[in-house]
Structure 1
Amino acid sequence: MPSMNDLVRQHTALDDSDLEWLHLLVSEWQLLSDLSFADLVLWVPTSDGTRYVSVAQMRPNTGPTSYQDDMVGHLVPRGRRPMLDAALDEGRIVREGDPEWREEVPVRVESIPVRRESRVLGVIARNTNLLTVRTPSRLELTYLQSASDLAQMIAAGSFPFPNQQVDMDASPRAGDGLIRLDADGVVQYASPNALSAYHRLGLAADLVGHHLGKTTAELAPVRGPVDEALVKLASGWAPREFEVEGGDGVIQLRAIPLKPKGLHIGSLVLLRDVTELRRRERELITKDATIREIHHRVKNNLQTVAALLRLQARRMDSVQGREALNEAVRRVGSIAIVHETLSQNLDERVEFDDIADRVLAMVAEISPGKVTGRRTGRFGILDA
């Protein structure tokens, strides 16, 4: 499958800054797909303006897909899909039209223009599988309203946020936990997963109707600057991520300001319970520190043994015995160098060139005659 870079550069007239904006959008749009319960396909007009090329696709984690096959790389003539034309030409979200039928599955299609500054770079086709439509729950209604707000922000060019590249593997997702705040930072809705995460922090009541920043600050054990940062986070005026530890839990939060028509109407807070993840990380750090300390102590003991052997060699009258002890000194010293190197690394891989150079220098130093060592080539990084 061709990459987005290849497709954009081969078929479109977008420059590198436009491509970077599309990458920023694609890094964020899993959230839009999940909140919409819909597939997303990004269409970009070709250089000659006669066709559209699909450069990216996203399937939802929260609902059935509308496309069984990958759409990336497909070319569609302009005029075949009027909703794409209207969204691109008029710069507005287009929802008109009856559902499409694809393999006996009704699909509702919406077109969302992707705006960057004053230009429309392409169109997102939002495809919702209507086969499993039912009366929506409060959670689903909150999802859909939030998705509508994000879609309007994309059409206005205010989402994604510049210089806010998101690692979707590390950031919270909608299914991990979601809180909807009003313009004052008061909780309007909290998903069951979000409530469970806050209960683990020590919350005994419901979140709805409470100011998220003040509530979170009360649960965090650290006072002072952290409280102020938490309040700013919950206000949702700026996109940012934060981590809070309290009670028996650790939660990761991400605030997304909602400004669908240029006015701040609230914010979306995604959160994830990372208690077990942070516990395992602390265990690994402790294990790494223990292993490095063991290597350090082994190195010290080996250096002590080498010093004793060197002292014994000087006292020995037998030439053969002295040479044997000196050979033992060199071997023990070489092993000590390896353990010293391992004590300074986080993993069990070492740059063996440094070890070889130090061993050569040590051999030249303890040799009875004048010896010069030189390494040719390189060993590279080797497993311990």
Structure 2
Amino acid sequence: MPSLDSIVRHQTALGREEVGLLHRLVADWQLLADLAFGDLVLWVLDAEAKGYWAAAQIRPTTGATTLADDVVGTFVPAVHAPDLVRAAANPHLSTEVDEVEVDGERVSVRYVPVRRRQRLVGLVEHRSSVGALRRPSRLEDAYLEAAGTLEAMLTAGTFPAESDSELAGSLRVGDGMVRLDERGTVTYASPNAVSAYRRLGVTGSLVGTELAALTQGLVGPRRTDSAPLTMLGGRTPDEGEVEGPGATLLVRVVPLSRGGDHDGALVLLRDVTELRVRERELLSKDATIREIHHRVKNNLQTVAALLRLQARRMDSPQARTALVEAEQRVGSIALVHETLSQSFDETVAFDDVADQLLRSVLEVATADGLHVEGHRIGSFGQVSAEVATPLALVLTEIVQNAGEHAFSGRTSGRVTVAVNRIRNRLRLRVSDDGAGLPDDFDPRSSLGLSIVATLVESELGGRLTFDSRPGAGTTVSIELSL
């Protein structure tokens, strides 16, 4: 189905501002369709004035549709559309209604001109079932009266408003509607609106009350979005939340006018109390999880500090080395928890972790007089917490092993961490330009490499390989699914 943009760009002579008006209309015309209990079709004049294109359509959520099939993209020659031609020639809102029979059902059809600065921009066809409104209720009367006012504003160029509404596509009249007169007094409130205000604290009838003053009294000194309270008089379009002791309402105010005079407003509202409660619970849980990660990080850093103090007191070089390596392992885990404590979800931007590990591990692992540069190529992206901790340990062990053993007898070296990630598949290569692996190399003889093999193959479900060229360095490759 073609889009509104493609139709107006290729089939009409409308200007940028006129197209902008049509976009605002289509963004907000669910309100009109629901109030009018009918389907709406937007017709625009062909660039050569030979006919009309159906550029958009919307079905009501308050009643049955009269359009079984989509009509967007349909072209109707002018000679076959006398009603459209007649409505386009009428500078005022037409009240003429034609009745047609569709699949055995009588359907009323009328056209509402869409104008900007006296120029016709398009026509809105309104279609509704005749039988659906034979005995209108008070709710239907209120809806239809508001729809008539919006249609008059559409022809006068005052609807939709120039400013975009963030709630136009989410708040519906069925959620709750209040009709205000020109003084801001409630003349009608739908059952859902009454129920919402009951939760807010209203005990009597809404009809006859001044909504802005009533709402301010219900909310009282509680912290709330002030804009809806000040605009509930109905003269300025606005939207926001009203929070009271017992409920939270999402509110949108649509000012109405007739003949250039203020004619009250429509107030659309929805009770979002349960939604806000769940959001606060989630925020509380997120804060708790972040606090847990923060405390785990602090505890691990304490353990690392104790290992460091113990290492300084050791006379045996082997024991001192073992404690330093253990400190590095604990520090790697602490770094992951520190990152998680600053995040709102359980994923880690692992590039930062890898860069910090690369710097700190090489600084500790290299001997005096040896300078080893560390570089990362490629990006890890976001990694889940379950993968981040073992992956950090793996990277620590491999880099530490390279720093300690690859550059014996040298004053400089280089370690490169190359990452290639395609969707959930990760390939990691840690390379050095050192002496290479000895002929009798056995990864099981090293505690660090044994840890790497166990983490990669058992915990991460990946594959670990070693590639070495004498005098040209070693590459450790890891492939795993995230």
Same fold, TM exceeding 0.5? yes
Deviations 1:78-97 (A, max 9, x none): 23222222232323333425
* Residues 206 and 268 of structure 1, relative CA distance in 2, 3 Å threshold: same
Aligned length: 382
Aligned partner of residue 377 in structure 2, secondary structure: coil
Deviation at 1:163, TM superposition (A): 1.7
> In the alignment, is the contact (CA less than 8 A) between 2:228 and 2:241 conserved in 1?
no
Aligned partner of residue 337 in structure 1, secondary structure: helix
- 1 CA distance for matches of 2:306 and 2:224? 56
Instruction: Report whether the alignment pairs 1:96 with 2:96.
Output: yes
Deviation at 1:260, TM superposition (A): 2.5
What does residue 314 of structure 2 align with?
316
- 2 CA distance for matches of 1:155 and 1:343? 56
> In the alignment, is the contact (CA less than 8 A) between 2:4 and 2:55 conserved in 1?
yes
What does residue 343 of structure 2 align with?
345
- 1 CA distance for matches of 2:240 and 2:292? 35
Deviations 1:20-76 (A, max 9, x none): 221111111000000000001111112111121112111000000010111111111
State which of 330, 333, 346 in structure 1 corresponds to 2:328.
Answer: 330
Instruction: Report whether the alignment pairs 1:56 with 2:68.
Output: no
* Residues 350 and 7 of structure 1, relative CA distance in 2, 3 Å threshold: farther
- 2 CA distance for matches of 1:328 and 1:191? 68
- 1 CA distance for matches of 2:57 and 2:67? 10
Deviation at 1:169, TM superposition (A): 4.7
> In the alignment, is the contact (CA less than 8 A) between 1:27 and 1:166 conserved in 2?
no
* Residues 19 and 161 of structure 1, relative CA distance in 2, 3 Å threshold: same
Aligned partner of residue 42 in structure 2, secondary structure: strand
> In the alignment, is the contact (CA less than 8 A) between 2:218 and 2:244 conserved in 1?
yes
Compute the RMSD of aligned alpha carbons.
Answer: 1.9
Deviation at 1:120, TM superposition (A): 1.8
- 2 CA distance for matches of 1:382 and 1:186? 56
Which letter maps to 1:349? T
Deviation at 1:209, TM superposition (A): 0.9
- 1:115-194 map, 5 Å: 115-170=115-170, 172-194=171-193
- 1:11-50 map, 5 Å: 11-50=11-50
**Which has the larger displacement, 299-308 or 23-32?**
299-308
Deviations 1:278-325 (A, max 9, x none): 111111111111111111111111111112122222323333333332
Which letter maps to 1:372? E
Gaps of at least 5 residues in structure 1 are none
Deviation at 1:226, TM superposition (A): 7.2
- 2 CA distance for matches of 1:226 and 1:168? 19
Deviations 1:91-149 (A, max 9, x none): 33334253111111211111111122332211111111224333100010000000000
- 2 CA distance for matches of 1:364 and 1:120? 72
Deviation at 1:371, TM superposition (A): 2.4
- 1 CA distance for matches of 2:230 and 2:225? 10
**Which has the larger displacement, 117-126 or 191-200?**
117-126
- 1:185-264 map, 5 Å: 185-222=184-221, 232-264=230-262
Deviations 1:163-221 (A, max 9, x none): 22333454x31001111111101111111111111111111100111111111111112
What does residue 9 of structure 1 align with?
9
What does residue 272 of structure 1 align with?
270
- 1 CA distance for matches of 2:288 and 2:21? 45
What does residue 284 of structure 2 align with?
286
- 1 CA distance for matches of 2:225 and 2:374? 57
User: What percent of counterpart residues are identical?
Assistant: 51
- 2 CA distance for matches of 1:124 and 1:39? 10
What does residue 373 of structure 2 align with?
372
> In the alignment, is the contact (CA less than 8 A) between 1:95 and 1:109 conserved in 2?
no
Q: Relative to total residues, which structure has the larger strand share, 1 or 2? A: 2
Higher relative contact order (CA 8 A, sep 6+): 1
Of structures 1 and 2, the larger Rg is shown by 2
Aligned partner of residue 100 in structure 1, secondary structure: strand
> In the alignment, is the contact (CA less than 8 A) between 1:46 and 1:53 conserved in 2?
yes
* Residues 257 and 131 of structure 1, relative CA distance in 2, 3 Å threshold: same
Aligned partner of residue 281 in structure 1, secondary structure: helix
